[in-house]
Structure 1
Amino acid sequence: MPRTGLTPSEIQDKAVEIAIDQMRAKGFEKVRLVDVAKEMGISHAALYSHFQDKTALLDAVSERWLVNLDQKQDLLVSEKRDPLQKILTWFQNLHRMKLEKVKLDPELYKAFDMAAEQSKPFIQTHLSNMRNQMSKLVTEAMEQKKLKKKDVNMVTEILISAGTAFTHPKLVAQHCEENREPLLVQTIEAVLKGLV
């Protein structure tokens, strides 16, 4: 254990928390590892052993948010209720969580959007988690005869493609001042009706 009395995992968590505070206070472009280390009371060299550069720290901020988002969606997937309603709620939740981040945490959202553009590994993990979640919901709907038996992967792709206009980082930010949720609901309901 280092002289801080913190484990490596605790150091990383604390650095992420400080980075989040600094991003909110002065913008993600102005976050510096030297300042984060200073606030933690450790050398910047010690912090570099956990984050190779500022980008790695910003990625850790975005990754933490996506992990929490995915966990919330996993809870929805496991609920015992109508799978078609869960599919609709899944899209609404995803849209709302991203919209909330754009409006309440714009600097953190900018860092996330940059990571998404570069298709970082944790972004790929999130996209994979989304597909797995939707695939489970589609399978459940087919098993309950709420959807026609078709190729699960194809139906999953159809639904995710239909929802992309409301969940893609750039599009959520671009339309953040509009109430697009009614259109999202109509779009997903229309797709589901076509699949029934």
Structure 2
Amino acid sequence: MAPTAETLTAERILEATEEVLRRHGPAKATVVDVARALGVSHGTVYRHFRTKAALREAVTKRWLDRTSEALAGIAAGDRAPEERLRAWFTGLFEAKRRKAGGDPELFATYSVLTGENGAAVGEHIDDLTAQLTRIVRAGTDSGAFTAADPAATARALFHATGRFHDPCYAGEWQQPGIEDEFTAVLDLLLRGLRA
């Protein structure tokens, strides 16, 4: 049974939008396609998302938030800071590789959408670097790390590991030896942080 305007939720619209994007790609997917997939009028979709751009931004944010939420638990954990930092970067790299390799068409779609939605991407990066800052600060507070400015150090760590999480490098993530390269970079960074 198709949802009614009263029972249709923003989350259900975002799920349908993701499916429509997977099927049609970002260039051809329309709000009418989303409405058709839900069995409602396009006006009903517009009650939740005022514009097509707003819908695409929300779907992009939802996609990015999945990674942030998964990593938040690691950042807030009670393991030693060095172990947490290693687990956090490993989790980020694995999540990005899984997205790129598990559903390459959808990954390509989201690469287009993230290019359109700089605000959502900026918020995502701010969230990730805030998580890293918490880990670095915990390390400096415990005496495990030396970092005069935990926030600046977190941003530097994030940028230094870009090859392993920035989508522009996705083509390299399945190459032989990439795990060894990731470990070497992470080991180098951790050595530099140790007190």
| TM-score, normalization by structure 2 | 0.87
Q: Once the 2 structures are TM-superposed, how far is the Cα of residue 119 of structure 1 from its aligned partner?
A: 5.0
In the alignment, which of 45, 48, 56 is matched to residue 47 of structure 1?
45
Residue range with higher mean Cα deviation, 158-167 or 109-118? 109-118
- 2: CA distance, partners of 1:152 / 1:163: 16
User: Which deviates the most, 83-92 or 179-188?
Assistant: 179-188
**Structure 1 residue 139 and structure 2 residue 137: aligned?**
yes
Matched, 1:6 2:7: yes
Q: Quote the residue 1:168 is aligned against.
A: 166
Shift of 1:133: 0.4
Percent sequence identity over matched residues? 25
Residue in 1 that maps onto 2:28: 30
**1:1-196 → structure 2 map (5 Å cutoff):** 3-6=4-7, 10=9, 12-118=10-116, 120-171=118-169, 173-179=170-176, 180-196=178-194
Structure 1 unaligned blocks of 5 or more:
none
Judge conservation of contact 1:28–1:107 (CA < 8 Å) in 2. Answer: no
Over residues 66-107 of structure 1, what are the superposed CA-to-partner deviations in whole Å (9 max), with x where a residue is unaligned? 112111111111111111111111111111111111112223
Contact 1:115–1:123 (CA under 8 A) maintained in structure 2: no
**Aligned partners of 2:60 and 2:110 also within 8 Å:** yes
- Cα 1:67–1:84, aligned 2, differ >3 Å: closer, same or farther? same
2:182 & 2:45 partners in 1: Cα distance? 43
Residues 117-148 of structure 1: per-residue CA shift (max 9 Å, x gap):
34522211111101100100000111111112
**Number of residue pairs aligned between Structure 1 and Structure 2:** 191
- Shift in Å at residue 185 of structure 1? 1.7
Q: Pairwise CA RMSD of aligned residues? A: 2.1
Q: Unaligned 5+ residue runs, structure 2? A: none
Contact 1:31 1:54 in 2 (8 A): no
> Which amino acid in the other structure matches residue 109 of structure 1?
F
Cα distance in 2 for partners of 1:190, 1:53 equals 46
What amino acid is aligned across from residue 5 of structure 1 in structure 2?
E
Give distance in 1, aligned partners of 2:109 and 2:78. 35
CA distance in 1, matches of 2:116, 2:39: 32
